[in-house]
Amino acid sequence: MLKIALAGNPNSGKTTLFNALTGSKQYVGNWPGVTVEKKEGRIKGQKEVRLIDLPGIYSLSPYTLEEVVSRNYLLDEKPDAIINIVDGSNLERNLYLTTQIEELGIPMIVAINMMDVVNKNGDKIDCSKLSKSLGCPVIPISAMKGEGISDLIEQAVSVANTDKTTDLSKRFSTQVENVLSEIQKQIPNEIEEKQRRWYAVKLFERDEKVIQQIKKSTKIEALVNEMEMAMEDDSESIITNERYQYITSLIQNCYQKKSKSKISTSDKIDRVVTNRFLALPIFAVIMFFVYYISITTIGDLVTVFTNDTLFGAWISETLAAWMETIGVSTWLIGLTVDGIVGGVGAVLGFVPQMFILFAMLAILEECGYMARVAFIMDRIFRKFGLSGKSFIPMLIGTGCGIPGIMASRTIENESDRRMTIMTTTFMPCGAKMPIVALIAGALFGGAWWVAPSAYFIGVAAVIISGLILKKTKMFAGKPAPFVMELPTYHVPTLGSVLRSMWERGSSFIKKAGTIILLSSVLIWFLSSFGMVDGSLQMVENMDESILAVIGGWIAPIFAPLGFGAWQSAVATIMGLVAKEEVVGVFGVLYGVSGDALELVEEGSYGELGAISQHFTMLSAYSFLVFNLLCAPCFAAIGAIKREMNNAKWTWFAVAYQCVFAYVMAFMVFQFGSMFYGTFGVGTIIAFLLLAALVYLLLRPYKKRSSSRAEVNDDLCYQKG
């Protein structure tokens, strides 16, 4: 069995190539001890070859989790060959890693990917010359189009069967090479001949992890010091410079870039979009329109239709009438029409809005704008201790919190990662959209600002939490630098937008058929039956139902937030099952045949409009704030637990979210009431909370004793 590892920069196309080579024969897991994704697979048509997709990295230094994982795998597991995948449209930058991989003493083959882009740009890469200079095979491919990959794998297998490594003794300037060969002589014998170049370079760079492994003799340190004096630079920078000089000489013979005299359209757009002053306002306006259009205008039209007409009238009335004619008992009609159609229908009714929202977000991502936003947000997030990397999970979290939480894996600094996991679900996920749409439509008459405000409440909650948490000892420390390539803008393809929309949206439809269906049946039973004269009976008045009793116990908790009715308490609690359930519960409770229908005004979300009997605009907004910010659904809490890999942190996260949501909703309601002229104990408590919040936001930062390197070790990195 041959082991071939796939290594390359992030976004060089590793995953695309991996999928093309392995097809369905793959296995996804985690690297031992850390939550970095590990992908392994068998190559199609080559039974005896195992392919490993390593995390994307820019270098083999020990600074990020991905780098540590990759290099330990390469050093300890010694795969039979490495396919170094290189983004041909970004040749110079990608070759930096190549110059490090070749030092490992493992047979290497270079795959120049994205050849379709290179050709389209009119650039030329001479692969045979490059191959000669590097001393290993260089194969042009396009992973996306599947071009050149069979040739690649054939050559990779033949390289893996040899033991061929390249002579690297003339890569750097003579001065540096001389010192490196001196160092090599000092390396203990247990290190294989082939790996000595790597260890020599790392010892020269004073790589901490290598020094822990090999005792560094004073002789080596003296050599390095001498070199540093002579070149007036630190040893790590000396090597970096040497690598770039080598790459420049490589590229001179093998690479011709079509000269671009004028700045590209992308750059022109970026001048405006990432402008220091305009960037944020532009982003705010774009997100405002995304939410305004998908929830309030177009979305509202579709949802009113699906809720009022499709589920509210056509389906439920037809179904009820038909069931009556065939003589089905009343309770079963109630269960079907009020329970199932009411609950599931209420949720499905909002699916069109979700799809429009997801399509618009997909367009923003595909065209390259969202990458700029991460860059813009980095500037802001940095001010309160998070990096732009934290924004990516939040971006993904606007679809569903679970992949959002999982995306936090790319953050190497542990406290940043924990903080991101804790705050990602503040962003309104797709399943929270029905709550927003319902409140906006049924209580605010579709006011323009309600839906976009949900998004900005999420962003504000993240920022406020970031500021508060960073000032505690637990989360202190500087955020890691954020490096990201900005792809050129391009028009998204219809196919990819639709695919992304479907990927994010289809799970909601599936949930409607399973978890929402079950919950709806349960809620219907609990709300239709009650204890009358000591026996369980169907009750006419919902307020006598079991659900009302249970809800009545919980409701006082929410009374200070303005929504003390048992119905809203039940809806909030059921939101833990799935956030769609918040609306689903109201759907069941006000099922079309229920007595609530008379209370409903025309055109206000069908029977769901009946929620207006429990809310004022103010308490509805407080309800919205609480449900947006409190603990996410069980599935997302599960994801938090997996990523935290620790029960205490999980509970802390959930408790923090609930307390934060409660405090915010409390202040919204109490201060709001004050403006309507109510002043009481609640108002005073609200002022005290506000003062506490201001204190937490403004107090000075705590120092963290451990250094960056220790933090990296914290990441429960385990060897072997």
**Interface of this chain with ligand GDP, residues 60 to 79, rule: CB under 6 A:** none
Number of residues that this document lists for the chain: 720
Which run of H or of E encompasses 52?
Answer: strand 46-53
Binding at 16: pick from Mg ion, ligand GDP, none (beta carbon under 5-8 Å per type) = ligand GDP
How far is it, in rounded angstroms, from Cα 495 to Cα 483? Answer: 29
Q: Which residues contact 458 (CB under 8 A, 6 or more apart)?
A: 394, 426, 427, 428, 628, 629
Q: Is 88 in the site for ligand GDP (CB under 6 A)?
A: no
Interface characters, 503-542, with Mg ion (x: CB under 5 A): ----------------------------------------
Q: Output 91 or 227, the one with its CB closest to ligand GDP.
A: 91
Q: In the bound complex, what is the minimum distance in angstroms from residue 699's beta carbon to ligand GDP?
A: 40
Alpha-carbon 501 to chain mean position = 16
Q: Output 15 or 507, the one with its CB closest to Mg ion.
A: 15
How far is it, in rounded angstroms, from Cα 220 to Cα 305? Answer: 77
Strand pairing partners for 125?
255
Q: Looking at residue 702, what DSSP letter applies?
A: P
Say how many CA atoms lie within 13 Å of 253 toward its Cβ: 12
Q: Is 480 in the site for ligand GDP (CB under 6 A)?
A: no
Q: Which residues contact 95 (CB under 8 A, 6 or more apart)?
A: 86, 247, 250, 251
For ligand GDP, the binding residue among 4, 7, 14, 410 (CB under 6 A) is: 14
Q: Is 126 in the site for ligand GDP (CB under 6 A)?
A: no
Q: Is 142 in the site for ligand GDP (CB under 6 A)?
A: yes
How far is it, in rounded angstroms, from Cα 135 to Cα 169? Answer: 12
**Interface of this chain with ligand GDP, residues 29 to 58, rule: CB under 6 A:** 56
Q: In the bound complex, what is the minimum distance in angstroms from residue 208's beta carbon to Mg ion?
A: 27
Q: Output 101 or 224, the one with its CB closest to ligand GDP.
A: 101
Cβ 407 vs Cβ 640: under 8 Å: no
DSSP string spanning 381-398?
Answer: HHHTT--GGGHHHHHHHT
Q: In the bound complex, what is the minimum distance in angstroms from residue 438's beta carbon to Mg ion?
A: 38
Q: Is 139 in the site for ligand GDP (CB under 6 A)?
A: no
Binding at 522: pick from Mg ion, ligand GDP, none (beta carbon under 5-8 Å per type) = none
* Binding segment (CB under 6 A) for ligand GDP, from list 141-149, 272-280, 475-483, 541-549: 141-149
Q: In the bound complex, what is the minimum distance in angstroms from residue 108's beta carbon to ligand GDP?
A: 17
For ligand GDP, the binding residue among 16, 61, 100, 415 (CB under 6 A) is: 16
Q: In the bound complex, what is the minimum distance in angstroms from residue 141's beta carbon to ligand GDP?
A: 7
Q: In the bound complex, what is the minimum distance in angstroms from residue 71's beta carbon to Mg ion?
A: 17
Cβ 208 vs Cβ 63: under 8 Å: no
How far is it, in rounded angstroms, from Cα 478 to Cα 480? Answer: 6
Binding at 166: pick from ligand GDP, Mg ion, none (beta carbon under 5-8 Å per type) = none
Interface characters, 105-124, with ligand GDP (x: CB under 6 A): --------xx-xx-------
Q: In the bound complex, what is the minimum distance in angstroms from residue 9's beta carbon to ligand GDP?
A: 7
Q: In the bound complex, what is the minimum distance in angstroms from residue 90's beta carbon to Mg ion?
A: 16
Cβ 415 vs Cβ 471: under 8 Å: no
Q: Is 11 in the site for ligand GDP (CB under 6 A)?
A: yes
Q: In the bound complex, what is the minimum distance in angstroms from residue 421's beta carbon to ligand GDP?
A: 22
Interface characters, 159-198, with Mg ion (x: CB under 5 A): ----------------------------------------
Question: What is the per-residue burial (b if ≥16 Cβ within 10 Å, else e) of 683-699?
Answer: eeebeebeeebeeeeee
Cβ 433 vs Cβ 636: under 8 Å: no
**Interface of this chain with ligand GDP, residues 507 to 566, rule: CB under 6 A:** none
CA-based torsion, 461, 467, 471, 476: positive or negative = positive
Q: Is 13 in the site for ligand GDP (CB under 6 A)?
A: yes
For ligand GDP, the binding residue among 5, 7, 12, 64 (CB under 6 A) is: 12
Q: In the bound complex, what is the minimum distance in angstroms from residue 15's beta carbon to ligand GDP?
A: 3
Cβ 170 vs Cβ 99: under 8 Å: no
Size of the site for ligand GDP (CB under 6 A): 16
Q: In the bound complex, what is the minimum distance in angstroms from residue 153's beta carbon to ligand GDP?
A: 15
Q: What are the tokens at 515?
A: 């978890």
* Binding segment (CB under 6 A) for ligand GDP, from list 14-22, 391-399, 525-533, 538-546: 14-22
Q: Output 362 or 596, the one with its CB closest to ligand GDP.
A: 362
Q: Is 98 in the site for ligand GDP (CB under 6 A)?
A: no
Closest CA to 500 of 403, 408, 374, 363: 363
**Interface of this chain with ligand GDP, residues 621 to 660, rule: CB under 6 A:** none
Q: Looking at residue 24, what DSSP letter applies?
A: T
> Phi, psi at residue 85, to the nearest 5°?
-90, 130
Q: Is 173 in the site for ligand GDP (CB under 6 A)?
A: no
SS3 at position 683? helix
* Binding segment (CB under 5 A) for Mg ion, from list 13-21, 65-73, 113-121, 274-282: 13-21
Q: Output 15 or 184, the one with its CB closest to Mg ion.
A: 15
Binding at 295: pick from Mg ion, ligand GDP, none (beta carbon under 5-8 Å per type) = none
Cβ 143 vs Cβ 20: under 8 Å: yes
Neighbours of 97 (CB within 10 A): 24
Q: Is 35 in the site for Mg ion (CB under 5 A)?
A: no
CA-based torsion, 410, 412, 417, 420: positive or negative = negative
Binding at 241: pick from ligand GDP, Mg ion, none (beta carbon under 5-8 Å per type) = none
Binding at 220: pick from Mg ion, ligand GDP, none (beta carbon under 5-8 Å per type) = none
Q: Output 83 or 640, the one with its CB closest to ligand GDP.
A: 83
For ligand GDP, the binding residue among 2, 3, 15, 380 (CB under 6 A) is: 15
* CA distances from residue 444 to 17, 473, 497, 555 in whole angstroms, order as listed: 50, 42, 32, 23
Q: Is 15 in the site for Mg ion (CB under 5 A)?
A: yes
For 121-155, give the secondary structure using H, E and C. Answer: HCCEECHHHHHHHHCCCEEECECCCCECHHHHHHH
The four Cα atoms 196, 202, 206, 207 give a dihedral, to 10 degrees, of: -120
Strand pairing partners for 538?
529
Q: Is 306 in the site for ligand GDP (CB under 6 A)?
A: no
How far is it, in rounded angstroms, from Cα 622 to Cα 572? Answer: 12
Binding residues vs Mg ion (CB under 5 A) = 15
Binding residues vs ligand GDP (CB under 6 A) = 8, 10-16, 56, 113-114, 116-117, 142-144
